[in-house]
Amino acid sequence: MEGVTDYIYRRIHRRYFPGVDKYFTPFLSPTQNHVFPPRELRQVLRSNNDGIPLVPQLLTKNAADFLWAAAALADMGYGEVNLNVGCPSGTVTAKGKGAGLLADPDSLRRLLDGIFSAPPPVAVSVKTRLGVHAPEEFVRILEIFNDYPICQLILHARTRDEQYVGPVHPEAYGDALENARMPVCCNGDLRSEADIRAVAARFPGTAAVMLGRGAAADPAVFSRVRGEAVEPDALERFHRELCDAYCAAFGGPGSAMHRMKAIWSYLLRGFAGGEAWEKRLGRTRRWPEFLALTDEILSTLPPAPPPGPSPWQPQEQIYSF
């Protein structure tokens, strides 16, 4: 998640909350220069990701740039890279990247032709959405994906236009799962352990689940699903170590507080009444005050009640005669 999770976050999260099979980097954008900028290189250096099962994610519409980056990452020891054709950001799609490729199936096919014209140097997974305007578009899109040896399809069950709001489309996800020729990972509105279990129960053919916002709000969710023990004060220690690590990495508390506020924009969702603290945290300008406020939240606010019915559960049918 751009601007929220990075190699520092991953490393500390792994220590306190085991249970994640794969972490994915915020997307890297290879260019014709064929050099990773320092900011992107830090995300994938093996020395920054020791012991982390990491998949670099690439955002591009150019097969040559993708293959250069994939080869460079293979040389670093990576066995899989992910092609992002699902990012709905307007600044991304306007360039024909991310979910912008879904608007032009011919361009999507040319990109995949270029990537798979010879065996790529690493396994390639794809993250996508259902389409641009309507879930029905995915029928044609999946036909394209099925023609290539994609190792896993990560499907966010919304369209580009829907961004991250409104209901997901479980029925469209189920159709995709039934017709895909590769393992399918479920993504989109997985907010809790109950949501993960609902997907597993309703769609037992699902190979994996991916959480972004849900895991940022509840860092222990994967540990609980896996039955891993979580220490009662794990979140407090996780938070304090993040603060110390970002202060060290950024050379002081100013930039560290900016990053921690981004993290807290998600963490607050995990506390009952957390939304009432959002403005107070946002107005904080002094590091000691920020630490005092977050310590108070962590020590006094109870966990948020479980969310309502999972959007992944079958909805009760009501018939009238």
The per-residue b/e assignment along 125-159, b for 16 or more CB within 10 angstroms, e otherwise, is bbbbbbbbeebebbeebbebbeeeebebbbbbbbb
Task: Quote the pLDDT of residue 2.
Answer: 76
- Please report how many Cα atoms fall inside a 13 Å half-sphere around the Cα of residue 179, on the Cβ side: 17
Give Rg (Cα) of the chain. 20
Residue 317: pLDDT above 60?
Answer: no
What's the mean pLDDT in 93-101?
A: 96
Residue 321: pLDDT above 60?
Answer: no
31 or 136, greater pLDDT? 136
Per DSSP, what are the bridge partners of residue 80? 123
Q: What are the boundaries of each domain within the chain?
A: 7-225, 234-300
Task: Quote the pLDDT of residue 307.
Answer: 81
Task: Quote the pLDDT of residue 184.
Answer: 98
**pLDDT band at residue 316, thresholds of 50, 70 and 90?**
low
Residue 95: pLDDT above 70?
Answer: yes
The yes/no answer on whether domain 7-225 falls in CATH 1.10.1740.10 is no
Each residue of 275-306: pLDDT tens digit?
Answer: 999 999 999 999 999 999 999 999 999 999 88
What is the SS3 assignment for 30-47? CCCCCCCCHHHHHHHCHH
Q: Own/partner pairs for 235-243, CB < 8 Å, 24+ apart?
A: 235/16, 235/298, 236/295, 236/298, 236/299, 237/16, 238/12, 238/13, 238/16, 238/17, 239/267, 239/294, 239/298, 241/12, 241/15, 241/16, 242/8, 242/9, 242/12, 243/291
The angle formed by the CA atoms of residues 297, 298 and 300, to the nearest 5 degrees, is 65
Closest CA to 87 of 174, 158, 6: 158
321 or 222, greater pLDDT? 222
Each residue of 118-133: pLDDT tens digit?
Answer: 999 999 999 999 999 9
- Local structure of 55: helix, strand or coil: strand
pTM for this entry: 0.94
Each residue of 224-252: pLDDT tens digit?
Answer: 999 998 999 999 999 999 999 999 999 99
Tell me what the pLDDT averaged over the chain comes to. Answer: 95
Q: List Cβ neighbours of 175 (8 Å cut-off, separation of 6 or more).
A: 138, 139
Task: Quote the pLDDT of residue 296.
Answer: 97
Each residue of 15-69: pLDDT tens digit?
Answer: 999 999 999 999 999 988 999 999 999 999 999 999 999 999 999 999 999 999 9
Task: Quote the pLDDT of residue 168.
Answer: 97
Each residue of 201-215: pLDDT tens digit?
Answer: 999 999 999 999 999
Closest CA to 4 of 212, 176, 149: 212
